[in-house]
């Protein structure tokens, strides 16, 4: 397979809201949308400038809460969203975990826009995880708001909040100038990091910073720019720390270092829920550089997988190579666990058997069985999707310095909040005393929503009494992942004599995503496996979506959020096969099914509504760009697919040449997307190209 | 059987134009010498079997996978890592092209990608798509289309600088 050309076509069909997803801010369907009230915190920076941050009451005290009173010690800035120094430096804090999705660039862009500073004058600084103690109400407060990366929520969460941060910092600077000039603030405007007087006089933000820091911050919202006045949002912007990346200076979790830190490699039990039988570590301890060999316990059989995934023997050494040699020298006999007999053959047998039993009905409209009986034609297909590993370029790792009353974690993370809670639960250290730094992360794709590798670091550090850095090798990673679920999809369509689709059935026998997951108690059993309200639900009168759970011990997780990749592939493949088998045009079939532009209910993540017209429009756009329906060279074909997920709409049109040997050559690929307002068009293009290439390499 | 007090003959090499000496286990891969001993962490660990290319460096000016290059092979050799590619503040044309084409996403593989591209451009000053397709460095973010554009941009830049 070779990709000859990829063309990214982005069509912002409906621009009405800041991403269709803006209204819903829940990560992978597991987190309820929050209503927060945040408070601006203004202080003088260490260099005598202006520092602006937010304080948000903890989740327990949400709406209507009063401003949290912080003990003096935590008022020392961990970092700020905005810092304007007297020397003219403008530093904007990036709150998110940067995994390659571009938030270290796009989130500061939101602040810079409303602050009204030139992007090229901005220095972006990564913020640490910002949980601090609050004296009143007692508990914890967040300095930066949501910092995890999951469920495609970074921009929707930040869209309003971070623009307000910039706007309120600008408001302070304008007020400071108004005082200086004894002029009404309303008469003043800003441009390029200056406040401008009606008579043309200018004061730079740097000149105003200290005075602004003494002002009382605005209570509540301040006005923001019209979209047409935006000079940063909506403009192509390169990654903020590109120079650091191309010079090798960018620090990732794996690059973290602390004086005296020891490197740890763990031999993990190869049996699900197995345990350590016998250990002979005499040889390993003789390897130069090996300091200690310690054991870590398995998860409790059948209990939630909320710490480490497997029993292990940890080799603690001066460096990677010593730890590696030490691990190679271990002699271990593992005791098989209850899942030891699980195999690929068993998995397939169980999935086949599941279809003979009744499943859980995720959605039923009308009567598919009746539609099937009265159909002029029934078309059925089966699709099988394997377990998939994430294989992030940077394998999991965690460096932790564990003291009796505090901890410092440096690791490549997607869920620093989860890591904070886990360390707290394992050690009793209060969460505000657990410092978490957020280096760049070499890919996430959902793997790092789990913090099992952090738990391992805690378990080893508790025994070793020194800072430890747990490293995973690629083999460790591929064998100990939270894989995308395995599933067998049986799809069926009933057609009447005119070729109209009158019934649709999608039955999925899969290893449930919701399995040994303590944080998913409130979710449906089929979460991540059945797209109950996804197209063509609501567009076919007789519709059935059914989930048939398959028992298997392999750990499952979010893989680029499993549902869209897991559900879209069989549904879109079936639509195409159905069209060809019924002698219909695959585009026309989809457009007929989508019908009139209208909103349908969508109860899962990315809802609460799905707009048929927006999906139809991206389909038409992709089809038009690739010249769908034109005469093609011999052995060429064009395939279409579209999907609504996470509040966004996307369609692909791909021209493929098939050689006589059956090899595929992708001639051209067009992607059309409607994700609402676009913060960084360049970032959007990289996301869609990258996602497209990942999808192709997974499917092929 | 390995003795607890392991002593090896010093391996003398040059790393980023500076002399270096190593007396540890000669079977240690160059990658871990660079990361753990020379504290040059720009070279990344991806697979440990020479497959993914995240650890690509230059040995005597030629691309090599540091994770499968033992220190024992490096006596008298010259190693250049991503940290040694720029001439002071002046970036190499490939690094500059990488910024201009906005190649990186997560960025983890990019040091290796850049070192492989520099090596390619030494061998092929005007690389074709087929030449670029001989690069086997992996990228999980799928930055390949921009890598291709950046290599072409760097090739044009280097050619312009020569004439």
CB B127 within 8 Å of CB B156 = no
User: Is the Cβ pair A246, B95 closer than 8 Å?
Assistant: yes
Rounded Cα distance between A101 and A108, Å, is: 14
Write out the H or E segment, with its range, that includes residue A614: helix A612-626
A263 touching B (Cβ < 8 Å): yes
pTM of the predicted model, to two decimals? 0.93
> Dihedrals φ, ψ of A328, to 5°?
-60, -30
Rounded Cα distance between B78 and B75, Å, is: 9
Q: What is the pLDDT at residue A69? A: 55
Mutate to test the interface with A, among B23, B105, B113 (most CBs of A within 10 A): B105
Beta bridge partners of A265: A315
Rounded Cα distance between A304 and A285, Å, is: 34
Instruction: List CB contacts of A456: < 8 A, sequence separation 6 or more.
Output: A264, A266, A296, A308, A312, A314, A398, A470
- Closest residue on chain B to A242 (Cα): B99
User: Is the Cβ pair B104, A440 closer than 8 Å?
Assistant: no
Q: Would you state the structure tokens that stand for residue A217, as one six-digit string?
A: 């911050």
Percentages helix, strand, coil for chain A (3-state, rounded to 5) are 30, 25, 45
- 3-class SS string, A349-411: HHHHHHCCCCCEEEEEECCHHHHHHCCCEEEEEEEEECCECCCCCCCCEEEEEECCCCEEEEC
User: Is the Cβ pair A690, B102 closer than 8 Å?
Assistant: no
pLDDT band of residue A468 (cuts 50, 70, 90) is very high
Task: Chain B: give the shortest CA distance to residue A466, in Å.
Answer: 18
Is 70 exceeded by the pLDDT of residue A63? Answer: no
Q: What is the DSSP string of A30-60?
A: -SPPP----EEEEEE-TTSSEEEEEEEE-TT
- Stretch A114-142: mean pLDDT: 89
For A368-372, A611-615, A694-698, which range has the lowest pLDDT when averaged over its residues?
A: A694-698
Rounded Cα distance between A313 and A285, Å, is: 12
Is 90 exceeded by the pLDDT of residue B142? Answer: yes
- Closest residue on chain B to A693 (Cα): B142
CB atoms closer than 10 angstroms to residue B76: 9
Q: What is the pLDDT at residue A218? A: 85
Beta bridge partners of A51: A43, A83
User: Is the Cβ pair A250, B140 closer than 8 Å?
Assistant: no
Q: Would you state the structure tokens that stand for residue A29, as one six-digit string?
A: 């369907």
Per DSSP, chain A holds a count of helices (H) and strands (E) of 15, 30
Residues in chain A: 700
CB B34 within 8 Å of CB B40 = yes
Is 60 exceeded by the pLDDT of residue A232? Answer: yes
For A5-9, A610-614, B147-151, which range has the lowest pLDDT when averaged over its residues?
A: A5-9
User: Is the Cβ pair A443, B39 closer than 8 Å?
Assistant: no
Beta bridge partners of A295: A313
Q: What is the DSSP letter of B33?
A: I
Task: Chain B: give the shortest CA distance to residue A13, in Å.
Answer: 26
User: Is the Cβ pair B141, A443 closer than 8 Å?
Assistant: yes
A474 touching B (Cβ < 8 Å): yes
Rounded Cα distance between A54 and A41, Å, is: 5
- 3-class SS string, A409-425: EECCCCCHHHHHHHHHH
pLDDT digits (tens, 9 = 90+) for A483-522: 999 999 999 999 999 999 999 999 999 999 999 998 898 9
User: Is the Cβ pair A693, B138 closer than 8 Å?
Assistant: no
Mean pLDDT of chain A, nearest integer = 90
pLDDT band of residue B19 (cuts 50, 70, 90) is very high
Query: Measured in whole angstroms, how far is the alpha carbon of residue A16 from the centre of its chain?
Result: 24
pLDDT digits (tens, 9 = 90+) for B68-124: 999 999 999 999 999 999 999 999 999 999 999 999 999 999 999 999 999 999 999
User: Is the Cβ pair B42, A98 closer than 8 Å?
Assistant: no
CB A419 within 8 Å of CB A436 = yes
> Dihedrals φ, ψ of A335, to 5°?
-100, 125
> Dihedrals φ, ψ of B154, to 5°?
-65, -40
Rounded Cα distance between A573 and A657, Å, is: 18
Which candidate from B47, B100, B108 shows the least CB-CB separation from A252?
A: B108
Burial of residue A51 (CB within 10 Å: 0-12, 13-18, 19+) is: buried
Cα angle: A232, vertex A620, A492; to 5 degrees: 120
Inter-CA distances, A546 with A408, A528, A551, B92, Å:
46, 13, 16, 57
A218 touching B (Cβ < 8 Å): no
pLDDT band of residue A475 (cuts 50, 70, 90) is very high
Q: What is the pLDDT at residue A396? A: 98
User: Is the Cβ pair A394, B35 closer than 8 Å?
Assistant: no
Task: Chain A: give the shortest CA distance to residue B140, in Å.
Answer: 6
CB atoms closer than 10 angstroms to residue B136: 12
Taking CB atoms within 8 Å and a gap of at least 24, the contacts of A202-207 are A203/A177, A204/A88, A205/A50, A205/A84, A205/A90, A205/A117, A205/A173, A206/A49, A206/A84, A206/A85, A206/A86, A206/A87, A206/A88, A206/A89, A207/A86
Q: How are beta strands B78-80 and B56-59 bridged, if at all? A: antiparallel
ipTM: 0.97
Q: Would you state the structure tokens that stand for residue A346, as one six-digit string?
A: 């068993």
Q: What is the pLDDT at residue B15? A: 98
Query: Measured in whole angstroms, how far is the alpha carbon of residue B86 from the centre of its chain?
Result: 13
Q: What is the pLDDT at residue A53? A: 81
Mutate to test the interface with A, among B52, B131, B135, B141 (most CBs of A within 10 A): B141
Instruction: Determine what percent of chain A is predicted with pLDDT higher than 90.
Output: 81
Between positions 640 and 679 of A, the ones with CB within 8 A of B are: none
| Cβ burial A662-688 (10 Å sphere, 16+ → b, else e) | eeeebbbbbbbbbbbbbbbebbbbbbb
pLDDT digits (tens, 9 = 90+) for A510-553: 999 999 998 898 999 999 999 999 999 999 999 999 999 999 99
Write out the H or E segment, with its range, that includes residue A582: helix A562-582
Mutate to test the interface with A, among B97, B108, B147 (most CBs of A within 10 A): B108
Rounded Cα distance between A603 and A598, Å, is: 16
User: Is the Cβ pair A321, B143 closer than 8 Å?
Assistant: no
Q: Is A181 helix (H, G, I), strand (E, B) or coil?
A: helix
Inter-CA distances, B145 with A101, A361, A670, Å:
17, 43, 14
Edge-to-edge strand ranges of the sheet holding A397-402: A290-296, A312-317, A262-268, A468-471, A397-402, A407-410, A434-437
Mean pLDDT of chain B, nearest integer = 95
pLDDT digits (tens, 9 = 90+) for A379-435: 999 999 999 999 999 999 999 999 999 999 999 999 999 999 999 999 999 999 999
Instruction: List CB contacts of A630: < 8 A, sequence separation 6 or more.
Output: none
């Amino acid at each position: 397979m070779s990709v000859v050309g990829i063309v990214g076509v982005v069509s912002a069909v409906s621009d009405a809201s800041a991403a269709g997803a803006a209204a819903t801010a829940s990560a992978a369907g597991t987190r309820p949308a929050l209503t927060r009230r945040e408070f601006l915190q203004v202080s003088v920076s260490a260099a005598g400038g202006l520092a602006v941050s937010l304080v948000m009451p903890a989740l327990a005290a949400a709406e209507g809460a009063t401003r949290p009173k912080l003990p003096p010690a935590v008022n020392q800035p961990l970092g700020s969203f905005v810092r304007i120094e007297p020397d003219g430096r403008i530093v904007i804090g990036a709150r998110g975990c940067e995994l390659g999705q571009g938030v270290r660039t796009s989130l500061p862009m939101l602040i810079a826009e409303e602050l009204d500073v030139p992007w090229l004058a901005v220095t972006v600084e990564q913020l640490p995880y910002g949980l601090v103690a609050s004296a009143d109400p007692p508990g914890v407060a967040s300095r930066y708001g949501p910092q995890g990366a999951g469920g495609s929520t970074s921009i929707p969460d930040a869209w309003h909040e971070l623009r307000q941060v910039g706007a309120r910092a600008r408001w302070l600077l304008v007020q400071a100038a108004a005082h200086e000039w004894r002029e009404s603030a309303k008469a003043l405007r800003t441009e390029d990091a200056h406040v401008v007087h009606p008579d043309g006089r200018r004061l730079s933000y740097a000149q105003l910073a200290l005075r602004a820091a003494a002002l009382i911050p605005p209570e509540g919202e301040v006005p923001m720019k019209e979209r047409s006045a935006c000079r940063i949002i909506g403009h192509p912007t390169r990654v903020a720390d590109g120079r650091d990346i191309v010079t090798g200076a960018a620090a990732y979790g794996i690059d973290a270092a602390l004086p005296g830190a020891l490197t740890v490699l763990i031999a993990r039990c190869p049996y699900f829920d197995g345990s350590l039988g016998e250990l002979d570590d005499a040889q390993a301890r003789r390897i130069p550089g090996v300091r200690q060999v310690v054991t870590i316990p398995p998860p409790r059989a059948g209990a939630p997988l909320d710490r480490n995934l497997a029993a292990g023997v940890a080799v603690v050494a001066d460096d990677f190579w010593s730890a590696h040699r030490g691990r190679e020298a271990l002699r271990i006999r593992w005791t098989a666990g209850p899942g030891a007999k699980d195999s690929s053959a068993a998995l397939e047998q169980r999935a086949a058997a599941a279809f003979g039993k009744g499943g859980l009905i995720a959605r039923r409209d009308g009567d598919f069985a009746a539609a099937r009986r009265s159909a002029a034609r029934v078309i059925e297909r089966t699709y099988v999707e394997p377990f998939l590993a994430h294989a992030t370029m940077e394998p999991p790792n965690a460096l932790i310095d564990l003291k009796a009353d505090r901890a410092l974690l440096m690791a490549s993370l997607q869920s620093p909040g989860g890591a904070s809670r886990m360390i707290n639960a394992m050690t009793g250290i209060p969460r505000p005393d657990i410092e978490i730094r957020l280096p760049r992360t070499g890919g996430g794709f959902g793997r790092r929503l789990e913090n099992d590798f952090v738990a391992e670091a805690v378990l080893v550090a508790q025994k070793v009494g020194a800072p430890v850095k747990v490293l995973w090798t690629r083999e460790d990673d591929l064998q100990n992942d939270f894989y995308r679920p395995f599933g067998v999809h049986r799809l069926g369509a009933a057609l009447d004599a005119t070729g109209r689709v009158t019934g649709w059935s999608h039955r999925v026998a899969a290893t449930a995503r919701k399995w040994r997951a303590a944080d998913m108690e409130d979710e449906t059993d089929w979460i991540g496996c059945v797209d109950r309200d996804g197209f063509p639900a609501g567009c076919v009168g007789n519709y059935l979506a059914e989930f048939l759970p398959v028992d298997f011990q392999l750990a499952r997780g979010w893989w680029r959020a499993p549902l869209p990749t897991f559900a879209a592939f069989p549904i879109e493949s079936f639509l195409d096969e159905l069209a060809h088998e019924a002698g219909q045009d695959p585009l026309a079939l989809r457009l007929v099914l989508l019908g009139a532009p209208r909103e349908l209910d969508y109860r899962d993540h990315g809802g609460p509504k799905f707009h048929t017209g927006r999906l139809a429009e991206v389909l038409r756009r992709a089809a038009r760009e690739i010249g769908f329906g034109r005469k093609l060279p011999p052995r060429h074909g064009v395939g279409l697919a579209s999907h609504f997920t996470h509040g966004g709409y996307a369609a692909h049109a791909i021209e493929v040449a098939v050689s006589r040997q059956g090899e595929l050559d992708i001639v051209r690929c067009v992607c059309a997307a409607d994700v609402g307002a676009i913060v960084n068009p360049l970032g959007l293009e990289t996301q869609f190209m990258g996602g497209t290439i990942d999808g192709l390499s997974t499917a092929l | 059987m390995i003795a607890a007090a392991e002593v090896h003959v010093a391996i003398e090499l040059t790393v980023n134009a500076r002399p270096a000496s190593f007396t540890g286990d000669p079977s240690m891969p160059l990658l871990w010498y660079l990361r753990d001993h020379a504290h040059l962490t720009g070279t990344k660990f991806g697979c440990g079997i020479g497959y993914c290319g995240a650890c690509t460096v230059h040995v005597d000016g030629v691309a090599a996978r540091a994770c499968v290059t033992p220190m024992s092979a490096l006596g008298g050799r010259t190693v250049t890592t991503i940290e040694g590619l720029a001439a002071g503040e002046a970036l190499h044309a490939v690094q500059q092209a990488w910024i201009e084409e906005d190649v990186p996403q997560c960025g983890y593989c990019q040091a290796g990608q850049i070192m492989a591209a520099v090596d390619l451009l030494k061998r092929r000053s005007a690389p074709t798509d087929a030449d670029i397709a001989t690069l086997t460095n992996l990228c999980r973010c799928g930055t390949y289309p921009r890598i291709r554009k950046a290599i072409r941009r760097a090739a044009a830049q280097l050619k312009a600088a020569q004439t």
